[in-house]
A and B are shown apart, each in its own frame.
Chain A
């Protein structure tokens, strides 16, 4: 459950202006015909859920343009990249436009994997609604559900309807297996509930142990250690004070007119079932905000990894994969800057996605983005901020980037579809208690 589904983010500088022209043209050709273009076809990638290429231009013009590759893939990154090098070397047509990329590198699998990993940035926080579920499993379960639908849509429905529920389930199962012997219908046992309880218990014990340790420390290790808990409290109070002072003086962007939405951004939005968002904004200057953001992202990452395992990030049910990546840019002659990059692959419209953010997850998002420039004014890190609906939407629009190439490996399925398919397939071929069986039948 914990090891699969990796967030790979590769960032490399575009070599020069000439390479930029070539790269723009190639990415446009790829986006124009994802399946048939002569350069690189994302559908050939192994075990990939979603991927995108984005060219990141610095609005201030201080930093060189970057090519970003986002991939959400199964298995370990090394093995994944090696398989790409062997099976889909056409991906080089994209990366050969980057600075320091040796021509023909991909022929040397190990060297290519090493180059890619050198340019890979860790995600500050990574979230998925179905962590650890391989793409092959998602596609299989989608087909199992479709096969079940076919069985009960047929003329057998009326006859089936007269049978006891367990017998209906048995017959559906037998018929699906007969019609589609190629599909995997094996049952799964759901451990998510126990898992969550266990994680909460462990967290509670650790927290208690830390507190108890701090209290007990002076008694055990001598009075001198009494300074440690005291120092922590002082540091906490000081940090809080520093935050409140900054919140009082930070500049929030004021919007007196709506932000124009760039056509390139709008053109790739409002797809049928799924959508994407690329967002990049500078951090507020100084080490305090960087440190605070790092801590917040770590916290969200922990929650995403161990608590919001299946389904909903703080009540948002529409996110397939999302990640935040902190870019630390150090260039000679340019003041030190940090930027926060956000990629999301979600269901439905931009308006509904932003609405869910604001309505259901404002605290978490405010904790993250309040450390970046122009964000609507906040209170105590979590308060206000994203709750200012219009300002938050305008601010998001202001910093949104056009995504040149975006590809989904499960294009017609919503998060809810995927979770339902998994749940239904996992219960097709095993006995269920009456209540669960009734729910199972209603979900078909």
Chain B
């Protein structure tokens, strides 16, 4: 087994680095409940685009608290095509990983995605050069910020492709479950991880630091400037959620299994929903409370303080096929627990997603009644390698119908289904339950791969 880096060897960013790294690396800005995401294609005049970036970069929020404004946060991400439009030479951009330069639309098969030609965001005709992310305390502030950024981009000759808005922030995503529960711990700002939070090498997320293998990854070098240092890669996906299709299907299964007693069917619906997601509505783990939701296990100190192998190796509590268990298999990825944890932690990402659209009431959802409104998740994640981070998780753990010995069972939430009939096995004694016809409840409407430069790199790019 390749041991890689030990906790003691993890590189720590210095004070100066924390003033250089964009703040989103260490914070989801949950104290700013309203967010806006402005996507643009830059114009042909590279000098005008650089002037725009040069003005914008002073508003970009770094990690360091002393450099922040009292309120309002702004982050900027550039795709490889955006870097080219800003005049970064092609041979510099070519030092970025292949998946980043080729883009998410080329990875349809690996990601079990919808056809990029049908995407509403980042499809073949709308290259996404720039993503400006704004965070505000109120909806009005957010809208004003979005307007300001749109106007600045357009003044520089850019075409604004989309402005997506989110807010107010709610704890639960649209299916109703607590979201963003399991995150790795990145050293540098908070003193120590919470129970069950895995400390990962800084270089797993931020470029310029040693990664889990103790190595420095290749980064784009522009003359003497390491454009990569203190930067990271960002994946943005607009995921539409079909809430009524999800709960309607779960409730149908519960009615089929639970007989005529409405109370029993209700309880079974909640339980089956949790079995599919791999956590209860509150976020509590099924391993810790197998039979019913219990908020006592959803506190920050207990929500991640569990492992699978010793208490639930066969998935009798938390099904192996469930979404949360495959998105982070912890100690049950195969082999001894310690080895599994180590290998799994080489595929961790920081999630910074936000929901969009109105919540669908639970009663309507379990009745399978859709109100026709658009709702979903702006899935956003950060990592030093998209191939080893997001793509690996999506392809190898989630969309893979043969994950850990399963057969014909892609992830029931975001596995895409692949057009085949999909099953979900829920282990039980003495005989497991296998649910048929798992519906496709999440649909990717598009997005892209971006680079999140450090403040110093932004200055270098803006200087030309």
**A interface list, Cβ under 8 A from B:** 149, 152-153, 157, 160-161, 163, 165, 168, 255-261, 270-273, 315, 317, 347-349, 351-352, 355, 358-360, 362, 386-391, 412-414, 416-417, 420, 438, 441-442, 444
Contact = CB atoms under 8 A, between A and B. Distances in A.
A315 B391 CA distance: 23
Nearest to B342: A359
B93 to A, nearest CB: 10
Contacts of B217: 390
B98 A270 contact: no
Nearest to A347: B402
Contacts of B434: 149, 152-153
13 contacts: A152-B432, A161-B431, A163-B430, A315-B335, A349-B400, A351-B387, A355-B343, A355-B392, A359-B2, A387-B4, A389-B215, A441-B429, A441-B431
Contact of A258 (B97, B339, B343, B400): B97
A124 to B, nearest CB: 24
Nearest to B315: A442
B392 A258 contact: no
Main DSSP-derived SS at the A contact region = helix
B330 to A, nearest CB: 15
B408 A317 contact: no
Interface string B206-247: 000001010101100100000000000000000000000000
A153 B408 CA distance: 15
A417 B405 contact: yes
A271 B395 CA distance: 11
B226 to A, nearest CB: 12
Given A388-B213, A389-B213, A442-B427, A255 B343 contact: no
A258 B346 CA distance: 20
Contact of B392 (A163, A270, A351, A362): A351
Contact of B1 (A152, A315, A441): A315
Contacts of B215: 388-391
A255 B218 contact: yes
A257 B110 contact: no
B396 A352 contact: yes
Given A153-B436, A273-B401, A355 B97 contact: no
A362 B95 contact: no
B314 interface: yes
A417 B425 CA distance: 14
B90 to A, nearest CB: 11
Contacts of B343: 355, 359-360
Majority DSSP secondary structure for residues of B touching A: loop
B89 interface: no
B430 A165 contact: yes
Contacts of B96: 258
B431 A168 contact: yes
B461 interface: no
- Sort A-B residue pairs by CB-CB distance and give the 3 closest, nearest first: A414-B402, A416-B405, A352-B396
A80 to B, nearest CB: 28
A157 B430 CA distance: 10
B64 interface: no
Contacts of B334: 317
Nearest to B112: A272
Nearest to B95: A257
Interface of B: 1-2, 4, 91, 94-98, 109-110, 211, 213, 215, 217-218, 221, 314, 334-335, 339, 342-343, 346-347, 387-388, 391-392, 395-396, 400-402, 404-405, 407-408, 418, 427, 429-434, 436
Given A257-B95, A270-B109, A351-B391, A360 B1 contact: yes
Given A360-B335, A416-B402, A351 B431 contact: no
Nearest to B336: A315
Contacts of B213: 358, 387-390
Contacts of A255: 218
A304 B253 CA distance: 46
Contacts of B95: 256-258
A441 B94 contact: no
A161 B395 contact: no
Given A358-B213, A359-B343, A413-B402, 7 more contacts: A349-B400, A352-B392, A358-B2, A390-B217, A391-B215, A416-B405, A441-B431
B431 A157 contact: yes
Nearest to B394: A349
Nearest to B216: A390
B430 A257 contact: no
Nearest to B408: A412
A358 to B, nearest CB: 6
Contact of B2 (A272, A352, A362, A416): A362
A169 to B, nearest CB: 10
Contacts of A351: 387-388, 391-392, 395-396
A160 B431 contact: yes
Contacts of B396: 348-349, 351-352
Nearest to A392: B213
Nearest to A260: B98
Nearest to B435: A153
A416 B97 contact: no
Contacts of B342: 359
A349 B402 contact: no
A416 B407 CA distance: 9
B395 A352 contact: yes
Contacts of B400: 273, 348-349
Contact of B405 (A258, A359, A420): A420
Contacts of A413: 402, 407
A385 B111 CA distance: 30
A442 B316 CA distance: 9
B346 A355 contact: yes
A257 B215 CA distance: 15
Nearest to A416: B405
Given A258-B218, A359-B2, A441-B431, A414 B392 contact: no
A386 B97 CA distance: 19
A315 B339 CA distance: 11
Contacts of A160: 430-431
A406 B73 CA distance: 52
A149 B434 CA distance: 9
Contacts of A258: 94-98, 218
A233 to B, nearest CB: 31
Contacts of B314: 442
Contacts of A441: 429-431
B405 A273 contact: no
Contacts of B1: 315, 359-360
Contacts of A389: 211, 213, 215
A366 to B, nearest CB: 10
B405 A414 contact: yes
A270 to B, nearest CB: 4
A134 to B, nearest CB: 21
A355 B388 contact: yes
B174 to A, nearest CB: 28
Contacts of A362: 2
Contact of A444 (B109, B218, B339, B432): B432
A43 B401 CA distance: 24
A111 B149 CA distance: 77
